[in-house]
Each structure stands twice: as structure tokens, then as C-alpha cells.
Amino acid sequence: MSSSDAFYQAFRGNFSSLLSWQQLDEFWEVLRRKADAGWYIYAIGTPVPTQISSSADVVKFVNEVGALLRKEHYEDYCGIVYTDSKQDPTLVKIFDPDNLGVACGFSNNPPLPGWILSRIPPQPLETRRPLPAGRLRWWQALWV
């Protein structure tokens, strides 16, 4: 199986939601402990990363996206972060609070996540929605 097949198969695999904010906080701790596991950080609508991120970048991303979700997801539950494993994740989908559509329901065209953390080299995910300028600035500011 090629790495692109492995990524697409994993992306379409089974995921669990981190429904409560407490579950999400606990999961962020798992990711921080596994920051050196060889993660790619991919913002849908930007070029696909070809290099794994440093541990420091993974921790920075987890901290910043966690703060963004808390600030912009106006619910008393999370429910917009999904992982293939809560204890030993290899792929994490993080949905953008500004583009949820029917992320947790049925749709013929469900929205793509805003960001993906993957230990499998990611492949392009086509989006018809351009990355909004504010999100692009937020993304670029992370890596300055």
C-alpha cells in the first residue's frame, strides 16, 4: 500500500469524537506527551506538508488550536475534534468552528476538517471553500 493510499484509508477510517471540553483537554495532554512521534500538521487549503513537525511545533499548534476552539466554538461541549485513538492517535481531524456545516450529521458533502495532525504523510484534500483570509493569517502567524 502506498503512503497516499494509507493516508486516504486512514482519513476515511473510524474516528471517535472528543465530545466534552474535559475529554479534549485530556487528549491535548496525550498529544503533548507524543509530540515527538513524527507528526505532520496540515491546514486544509494550504500546501501539504512534506516534513514532520518538530516537537515544539506540535505543542505550539496544540496549544494555539485549543485556544482557538475554546474562543470560537460557542457550545458547552466540544464535539469538533475526532481521533482514530484517544490513547495512541495516528490521525486527528480538527474542524474549524467557522465551517462546521453538518460535521456531526449526515451529508453528501460533509465539510473537511480545518486541520489534520497525522503520523502518516498527508495527501491533498480538495476543498471548494478557499481558506478565509483570517484563518490564513492565523495559520501563518503560528510559524513566524
The answer to whether the CB of 23 falls within 8 A of the CB of 137 is: no
Q: What is d(CA 52, CA 38) in angstroms, rounded to the nearest whole number? A: 6
Residuewise pLDDT in 10s, the chain (144 residues): 666 699 999 999 999 999 898 999 999 999 999 999 999 999 999 999 999 999 999 999 999 999 999 888 767 667 789 999 999 999 999 998 776 655 445 555 667 899 999 999 999 998 777 788 888 899 999 988
Which pLDDT does position 118 carry in this prediction?
A: 98
Quote the CA–CA distance of 9 and 30 in Å, as a whole number: 23
Where are any strands of DSSP class E within 7-90? 16-17, 40-43, 81-83
The pLDDT value given to residue 103: 45
Q: What is the pLDDT of residue 99?
A: 65
Q: What would you measure as the largest C-alpha separation in the chain, in angstroms?
A: 41
- pTM of the entire predicted model: 0.89
Q: From CA 115, how far away is CA 91, in angstroms rounded?
A: 11
